[in-house]
Amino acid sequence: MVEEVDTSGLLRRRVALKRPTATALQRERDRRRFQREVRLLERLDHPNIVSILDLELDDDDLWFTIPLAETTLARKMLHSSGLDDDEIASVFDQVLAAIAHAHSRV
């Protein structure tokens, strides 16, 4: 779900809003899993990992927002001639750095 929210009182930006489905909200296990995911993501501070902008973790209202990506790597590749070997290596380096960072924090 995408929603435009006022994140600072002065600046409006488009964000991605993530929340469990209504069915998942009814299941304790799913609510706890969502809360755990948010708490883990909050602990990560890395340029290749999206940051939480705002959140609500009340049992009756679970959601968080992250910056909205304007495009994806897959979409970029569809509209270009692809990536050369150096670009591919750079993408993998960035992904691996983000994964290593996440694993060092959990």
pLDDT per residue as tens digits for the range 56-83 = 988 778 999 998 887 777 777 777 777 7
Record the tokens describing residue 57, joined without a space: 């973790």
Which of 26-31's residues contact partners 24+ apart within 8 Å by CB, and which partners? Answer: 31/59, 31/62
CATH class of 2-105: mainly alpha
Predicted TM-score (pTM) of the model is 0.70
Kindly list the domain boundaries of the chain, sorted by start residue: 2-105
Pairwise CA distance, residues 52 & 29, whole Å: 22
pLDDT band at 5 (very low <50, low <70, confident <90, very high): low
